[in-house]
Structure formats: structure tokens, C-alpha cells
């Protein structure tokens, strides 16, 4: 228990350091929103703004207010990103589909086929509604949530018209990211919008079914990122064999939360097996840490960065392992948690400047020049992990 108390104290301090890093260096006082391309010291190395990160940042700081009580800087950060998104990040000529990147001023740069910008917009608006009671923000969250469902299930034509990533008459399939992220989004919307619980419960059940029907291969000990439309293991080409251990582990704690909500012990145990398989496949026994991509059959992965160590899979592993220990009391999950935290303290954390390195080589050394943020890394995965760990560690240590 003393070890957990020490980790708890470190987590609380790390949360304050991380939030200070973003508030001091990332917020744009001129145009609004957040810059996330920051170097080790917090200097901006690109002024292009990630739309994902505007939504994620708004969610994080609104959630902090809901979790710990309001601080002016937190609320201002959430509101700055929400206002920036509303003013600049929706392509209103294309059904409100959101951009992927914009300039510092908010001029559109890039539109992608994926609807993750809309997902982070929905979670941010839902969390802000919880903070303020604003019906306008709840309606925005509901709108984006429904749009994602319709797009993912082919119920409407995508107004941006980019089409699928591969020619569907040649190859069509399913992506794990769609049901897993929608499951997490559903949990946030349910919390913010209890009047529509029946809708959210039904959607969550559909996500769980899709994950286990199509992507989870229990007989093979695999959870695949991409499968055929009927869940086929497409082993003849690299994309069909790809496993992203961190993604699977993130999916696991979303499923564990849903199993706990339902009181479904069988679902929880199936999810623990999924977690165990991801750890067996993804942990690097030579250097420590989680590999980014693994080929399910041991062939060379296509992604050049497959053997790098990224911050966010380790955030997800810390959450999932501590959650599993809290819920089951099984020692192996406490061991995984402590091993993960020790690795992160040695390799990702930066006590001198705060926040974490985002990208490590396989041997655990930061890529150089070192980045603390990027188009894909901002104030989200790390603070979310620290907030969740803080709560679970307080439960476990009796604080």
C-alpha cells in the first residue's frame, strides 16, 4: 500500500505540472484555442492547429472543473477552445463536417474522411454542458453524436464526399476505432444527458457487440484493428494483420467501465482476456514499454514507426491495469501497473520542464529534437490518465 501512496503523490504532482505546461505555453491569447505543436520547453514550433486537440483540450479542462471544482484558468481554456471550434472548425457548406487542421487564425487547411473531430467536439460540448447547464452546448453534442452514428452506419452520404480509404468494390471492411471511440463517447453523453439514457444504452450495447463479433478473435488471442465486413481475418495483407496494443488496451478499459455499469461479470472477464492478450503481444521484453504496432502473424509491420514507444498507449495501460486491479484484486494487474508507471517515470516524464515526451525510440530515448506536443498530442491522454489514476488511487489507499 505504501507503494501506491507514493505513486498517488507523484500522480497529483504530475497532473499539476502537466496542466501548467499547457496553460503556460499552449493557449493562444490572440486567436483563441490551443497550440499543440510544442517542443520540450513549450515553444511553439508550428502554428497550425489540430481540430482534434481543440475538442480534446476543451473536454479536459471542462472535466477538470467538474472533477475538482472550477478554476478560472481551466474554465477559460475550455471556453477558448469551444469558441474557436464553433467559429472556425465546422465546414458549414458541407453539412457541418469538421476540419482536421486549421491555421492559427482558423482558416481551413485540411478535411479528412474520418469523423473523430466531430467526436471530440461532441465530448467537449457535453462536458461543458455538465459544467454550465448550457442547453445550446448539449444540443451541439447531441447533433455531432447522431451525425457520427449515421456516418458510421451508412445511413447518410458523407457531405464532404471524400469516400472510403480504399475502393469499396475491391476491399471493404471495419475499423476498431469506430465502435471503441463511440462507446467512450456514449459514456460521456449518458452522463451529461440522462434524459436519453435508453438511446445511449442501446448504442453502447451495439458497440460492445461489434467489438466482440467482428474484431475480437478469442480463439486466436487477437484483437484486430481492421477486419472484413463480416469480421474476416484478412491475413493476406499487412493492414489486415495489424494489432495496435495500446488501442486494444484503451478499448479494454472502455469495456471494463461498461461491464461495471451493467454488472456484467462475463463481459468483464472476456475483456480481461483481451487485455492479457494485448500485453502478451505488445510488451517489449528487451527494452520495456509497449510497441506501437505488431503484426499478428509475426511478419514485418508496414508502419515505419511500429517499434517506437508512444506516450498514449502507456497512459491507457496504466488506466486499464489499475482498473483491473481495483476491480479484481489480482496481483498481476498491480504488477503491470507498477511496471508501467516505473517505465513512464524513467522514459516519458520530464521533471525539468513538465509534461511528457510524446515519442521515444524503441530503446526508450526521446526522438530528437524532442516534442511534447504535435498535431496528435495535446492536453488529453496524459491528463485523462492522471485524473483517472488519482481517483482510483484515492479509493485504493483510503484517502
pLDDT at 3: 87
Would you kindly state where each structural domain of the chain is located, as residue ranges? Answer: 177-345
Residue 161 has what pLDDT? 84
Residues whose CB is less than 8 angstroms from the CB of residue 232 and which lie 6 or more positions away in sequence, other chains included:
none
Name 148's Cβ contacts closer than 8 Å, sequence gap at least 6.
115, 118, 119, 122, 182, 185
pLDDT value of residue 354: 97
Residues of the chain with pLDDT under 50: none
Q: Residue 288's pLDDT is what? A: 98
Helix axes 331-347, 311-328, angle to 10 degrees: 150
For 153-203, how does the pLDDT look when each residue is reduced to its tens digit (9 = 90+)?
A: 999 999 998 888 888 888 899 999 999 999 999 999 999 999 999 999 999
The H or E element spanning position 73 is helix 72-88
**pTM, whole model, 2 decimals?**
0.97
Instruction: Write out pLDDT tens, residues 223-262.
Output: 999 999 999 999 999 999 999 999 999 999 999 999 999 9
Distances (CA, A) of 389 to 129, 315, 316, 318: 24, 10, 11, 8
Burial 74-112 (b: 16+ CB within 10 A, else e): bbebbbbbbebbeebbbeeeeeebbbbbbebebebeebb
Which position has the grid cell 480504399?
A: 166
User: Rounded distance, CA 286 to CA 84, Å?
Assistant: 45
Grid coordinates in use for 253? 478499459
What does the block give as the cell for 310?
A: 508512444
Select 177-345's CATH number: 3.40.640.10, 1.50.10.10, 1.20.1440.230, 3.40.50.2300: 1.50.10.10
What is the rounded CA–CA span in Å between residue 198 and residue 195?
8
d(CA 345, CA 317): 14
Q: In 3D, which of 122, 102, 103 has the Cα closest to residue 112?
A: 102
CA gap 208, 227 in Å, rounded:
16
Q: What is the DSSP secondary-structure string of 118-167?
A: HHHHHHHHHHHHHHH--HHHHHHHHHHHHHHHHHHTTSS--TT----SS-
* pLDDT > 70: percent of the chain: 100
Amino acid at each position: 500500500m505504501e507503494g501506491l501512496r507514493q505513486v498517488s503523490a507523484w500522480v497529483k504532482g504530475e497532473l499539476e505540472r502537466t496542466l501548467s505546461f499547457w496553460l503556460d505555453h499552449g493557449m493562444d491569447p490572440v486567436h483563441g484555442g490551443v497550440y499543440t505543436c510544442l517542443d520540450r520547453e513549450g515553444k511553439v514550433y508550428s502554428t497550425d492547429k489540430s481540430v482534434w486537440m481543440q475538442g480534446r483540450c476543451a473536454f479536459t479542462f471542462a472535466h477538470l472543473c467538474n472533477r475538482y471544482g472550477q478554476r478560472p484558468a481551466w474554465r477559460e481554456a475550455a471556453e477558448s477552445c469551444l469558441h474557436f471550434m464553433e467559429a472556425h472548425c465546422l465546414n458549414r457548406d458541407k453539412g457541418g463536417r469538421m476540419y482536421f487542421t486549421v491555421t492559427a487564425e482558423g482558416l481551413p487547411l485540411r478535411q479528412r474522411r474520418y469523423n473523430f473531430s466531430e467526436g471530440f467536439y461532441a465530448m467537449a460540448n457535453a462536458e461543458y454542458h455538465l459544467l454550465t447547464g448550457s442547453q445550446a452546448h448539449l444540443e451541439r453534442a447531441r447533433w455531432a453524436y447522431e451525425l457520427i452514428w449515421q456516418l458510421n452506419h451508412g445511413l447518410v452520404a458523407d457531405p464532404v464526399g471524400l469516400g472510403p480509404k480504399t475502393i469499396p468494390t475491391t476491399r471493404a471492411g471495419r475499423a476498431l476505432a469506430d465502435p471503441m471511440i463511440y462507446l467512450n463517447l456514449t459514456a460521456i453523453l449518458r452522463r451529461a444527458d440522462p434524459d436519453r439514457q435508453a438511446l445511449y444504452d442501446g448504442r453502447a450495447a451495439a458497440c460492445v457487440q461489434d467489438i466482440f463479433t467482428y474484431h475480437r478473435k478469442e480463439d486466436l488471442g487477437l484483437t484486430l484493428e481492421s477486419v472484413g465486413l463480416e469480421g474476416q481475418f484478412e491475413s493476406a495483407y499487412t493492414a489486415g494483420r495489424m494489432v495496435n496494443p495500446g488501442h486494444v488496451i484503451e478499448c479494454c478499459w472502455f469495456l471494463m467501465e461498461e461491464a461495471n455499469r451493467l454488472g456484467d461479470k462475463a463481459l468483464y472477464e472476456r475483456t480481461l482476456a483481451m487485455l492479457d492478450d494485448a500485453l502478451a503481444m505488445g510488451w517489449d521484453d528487451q527494452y520495456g514499454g509497449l510497441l506501437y504496432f505488431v503484426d499478428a502473424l509475426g511478419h514485418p509491420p508496414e508502419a515505419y514507426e511500429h517499434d517506437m514507444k508512444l506516450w498514449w498507449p502507456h497512459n491507457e495501460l496504466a488506466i486499464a491495469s489499475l482498473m483491473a486491479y481495483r476491480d479484481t484484486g489480482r496481483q498481476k494487474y498491480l504488477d503491470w501497473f507498477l511496471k508501467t508507471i516505473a517505465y513512464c517515470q524513467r522514459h516519458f516524464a520530464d521533471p525539468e520542464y513538465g509534461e511528457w515526451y510524446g515519442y521515444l525510440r524503441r530503446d526508450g530515448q526521446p526522438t530528437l529534437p524532442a516534442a511534447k506536443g504535435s498535431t496528435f498530442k495535446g492536453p488529453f491522454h496524459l491528463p485523462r490518465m492522471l485524473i483517472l489514476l488519482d481517483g482510483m488511487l484515492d479509493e485504493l489507499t483510503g484517502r
